[in-house]
Chains A and B, each alone.
Chain A
Amino acid sequence: ETGVTQSPTHLIKTRGQQVTLRCSSQSGHNTVSWYQQALGQGPQFIFQYYREEENGRGNFPPRFSGLQFPNYSSELNVNALELDDSALYLCASSSNPLGQGDEQFFGPGTRLTVL
């Protein structure tokens, strides 16, 4: 059974640029959630995708968008990068959408630095 993988591991961008982060969910999982984790803080929920559709969103502006593909892998896109977007971006997959209590399996994260 393959775990959750994310790419790239690290990324450096400049303010105003756009970035795409990728996530492969664990085998058999149809739900992917994305989180932003600033240094010293807990993960903050960005949004969730279930069967290729956004199925819940946290307090993040529209410049944070995503996709989920038929194989349930997912992308997180961030436009017009700001310095405060520098963080660890975590992807998590689960068997069911959030709200049912299923454990989430997290990937190792992508460290994004915005200069």
Chain B
Amino acid sequence: SQKIEQNSEALNIQEGKTATLTCNYTNYSPAYLQWYRQDPGRGPVFLLLIRENEKEKRKERLKVTFDTTLKQSLFHITASQPADSATYLCAPHTGRRALTFGSGTRLQVQP
């Protein structure tokens, strides 16, 4: 069956460092993958989309990679700030009319 894995343990890093979050998927080949940010008690907010024919996508301090051979996407936040603390969700496209989210990784950036 299709499976999406994100590191369930919180990631704690120091302000100014680069945060790297991992999304692994098995048993299917998504045409694209989206990343969202979710703050406590709020709905997710879209950050980036990367398609299967793209290796890398950037937006300001954010960078996403997509390795279809490893079935993995990496999400990087450079020069991290305490305001980046949140849960980050990956959502690979799992079917023509569906989007499936991973369970998310909580990032905590210490000042």
**Residues of chain A whose beta carbon lies under 8 Å from any beta carbon of chain B:** 4, 33, 35, 40-45, 48, 55-58, 90, 92, 97-99, 101, 103-109
Contact = CB atoms under 8 A, between A and B. Distances in A.
Nearest to A92: B43
Interface stretch (B11-19, B68-76, B96-104): B96-104
Given A40-B103, A42-B104, A101-B32, A90 B43 contact: yes
9 contacts: A55-B97, A56-B95, A56-B96, A90-B43, A98-B96, A99-B95, A99-B96, A103-B34, A104-B34
Interface of B: 4, 6, 31-32, 34, 41-46, 49, 51, 89, 91, 93, 95-104
Contacts of B100: 44-45
Contacts, number: 70
B32 A43 contact: no
A98 B99 contact: yes
Contacts of B95: 56, 99
B80 to A, nearest CB: 22
B45 to A, nearest CB: 7
Find the residue from A41, A43, A58, A92 having the highest chain B CB count within 10 A.
A43
B98 A98 contact: yes
A82 B43 CA distance: 23
Contacts of A56: 95-98
Contacts of B43: 4, 90, 92, 106-109
Given A40-B103, A42-B102, A106 B45 contact: yes
Find the residue from A42, A55, A98 having the highest chain B CB count within 10 A.
A42
